[in-house]
Structure 1
Amino acid sequence: MNSTNSRVADENLSMSFQTCEKICLGPKTPLKGKFQASLGVHEIFSPETWKAALIELVATASLMVTFTASIIACLDSQELDPKLIIPFAVFIIAFLFLIVTVPLSGGHMSPVFTFIAALKGFVTISRALLYVLAQCIGSIIGFYILNCVMDPKLINTYSLGGCALGDKGLNSSINQHEALLLEFSCTFLVLFLGVTLAFDKKRSKNLGLPLVCLVVAGSMALAVFLSITVSGRTGYAGVGLNPARCLGAALLHGGSLWNGHWLFWVGPILACLLYYSVSINLPKEVSVWDDEEYVVLKLPLGSCRTIPNGDILNDITIEGGAQGYQVHV
């Protein structure tokens, strides 16, 4: 009887180990599983993915109409120097669109943010490709609406508000290599200031969505302001920061917008690659203020047991907090 019970117990134990091995160990080839997960082919068949892509399309089209119309309005205004008005308009528009679309689709509205999100693993490759396709189609739709309703004189004067370097040849207002450097630098600036905070889950949760959107929108406005003021070229429209925007305007208007169009893609891609290599080596959050070894009052008192007036050191307590360190006697 005991041998039978022992044999049954051994069989149950063996089955338990086999079950645990299947559940706990996971796939035999974890790298293959991770690669398949990063591709995200299953998301193509998910209705939620297509809904998010549709949000990206609608948001990008609306952003192109709003952003371009506002920029042309600033340039065509009676202001002697609209360089300060344009970044302010970029800041307001970007903040409004971000705070609405971030909870819905992530609020990318640009292949730049989608590309860096894919590199960082926040979205799968399949979702990233759908997002970029939706953003390009949305940009074309937005500029098509503008091309239909805008005064032809304004369209020709401001090249439909697209990413322009100037005419080809001797009439180009800025060298393509200089424009590429500006595109690269300003895109990296936006990624370093805005994306570093936006992709930090802990700090984003502590600060809240409105403040995070303010930082991202502010970094975009700062990049636009720097590109306009630093170059000082009349025919240069500033950094694109959004290859989809440059593509939509070039397809609808053509002409000089194809001059150096490649750099509005190459510059952001290089900036994303550099930022990714930097971001994976960023230090972890370090707070030296909570470490008692850095308390200034304890440094001179650490080597003696009394203070000059004869009071006992043990009667002194040091409390630290958010408001700073306080001494209680």
Structure 2
Amino acid sequence: MPGEYFNVPLRRVAIGSHDEFRQPGAVKAAVAEFISTLVFVFAGSGSGIAYNKLTGNAPNTPAGLIAASVAHAFGLFVAVAIGANISGGHVNPAVTFGLFVGGNITLFRGILYIIAQLLGSIVACLLLSFTTGGWAIPAFTVSGVSVWSAFVFEIVMTFGLVYTVYATAVDPKKGEIGVIAPIAIGFIVGANILAGGVFTGASMNPAVAFGPAVVSFTWTNHWIYWAGPLIGGGLAGVVYEGFFISHTHEPLSEF
């Protein structure tokens, strides 16, 4: 029977209540998301500024791509690890959305997380601008491919990221592999940057793109960095929760 192989995760989607905005646990989780995202964006965008300074604003090079990959992989590993026990360490609206469609977080708590993530990214970029004496914050742009190709790039890369989150951090059968979840999540982001960084910047994260866009006021094709990751994250949540998690559970606030 089809039902034996696929559960419909959208049946478990929960709206929650606006009271969650005032619950101490939810507020603490939002603060954790703010700090984790700030740490991640400061490290990731900061590496881009540092590379530009060292090379005199040289265009994309293999060395720059590797530097960005390593900085984002290490930064996300730390950001997820430090938030995991408090908020689940989402550090990404696409991850939060993917967990929402899978029934693992309520809508209201998800909104609270996303607001915190966006604010963390903005503050990180403002701090970078201040501490570097006004150096430009690298904004995400499309290069060498069409807008629609970039859109698909972001969908596929984010699908891989959120699928990894489900497999290593959400799946109740994860066992010992859950211990290395932050490493696996950081690694998939680093690998995707090597694959798509030259073409789209490999955002996979609306918050990571939003902070630089706000501070540098660069909005060209910015919709790609929202639509692509949210679609990719949502698809990953539906696929993994529907095919591979065969239990019924209440919505959760963390991994």
Structure possessing the higher relative contact order (Cα contacts under 8 Å, 6 or more residues apart):
2
| 2:233 counterpart residue number | 272
Distance 2:54 2:107 in 1: 43
Distance 2:95 2:151 in 1: 18
| 1:62 counterpart residue number | 39
Q: CA RMSD in A?
A: 2.4
Q: Is 1:121 paired with 2:121?
A: no
Deviation of residue 106 (structure 1)? 0.9
Matches within 5 A, 1:102-181: 102-152=84-134, 154-155=135-136, 160-165=137-142, 173-181=144-152
Q: Secondary structure at the match of 1:196?
A: helix
Q: Does the 8 Å CA contact 1:194/1:219 hold for their aligned counterparts?
A: no
Equivalent in 184, 197, 201 of residue 215 of structure 1? 184
Deviation of residue 200 (structure 1)? 0.9
| 1:81 counterpart residue number | 62
Equivalent in 192, 201, 214 of residue 172 of structure 2? 201
Q: Secondary structure at the match of 1:103?
A: coil
Unaligned stretches of 5+ residues in structure 1: 1-33, 167-172, 286-329
Distance 2:244 2:213 in 1: 41
> In the TM superposition, what whole-angstrom CA distance separates every residue of 1:110-164 from its partner, at most 9, and x where no partner exists?
1011111111122111110111111111111111111222244x41xxxx12212
Q: Secondary structure at the match of 1:106?
A: coil
Distance 1:133 1:221 in 2: 25
Q: Secondary structure at the match of 2:204?
A: coil
Q: Secondary structure at the match of 2:26?
A: helix
Q: Secondary structure at the match of 2:165?
A: helix
Distance 2:51 2:20 in 1: 42
Distance 2:74 2:138 in 1: 18
Divergent runs of 4+, >6 A = none
Are residues 122 and 40 of structure 1, via their aligned partners in 2, closer, same or farther at CA, if it must alter by over 3 Å?
farther
Matches within 5 A, 1:1-329: 38-77=15-54, 81-82=62-63, 83-152=65-134, 154-155=135-136, 160-165=137-142, 173-203=144-174, 205-209=175-179, 211-228=180-197, 231=199, 238-254=201-217, 257-283=218-244
TM score, norm. by length of structure 1: 0.64
Letter in 1 for 2:126: Y
Identity %: 23
Letter in 2 for 1:240: S
Q: Secondary structure at the match of 1:201?
A: coil
Are residues 228 and 280 of structure 1, via their aligned partners in 2, closer, same or farther at CA, if it must alter by over 3 Å?
same
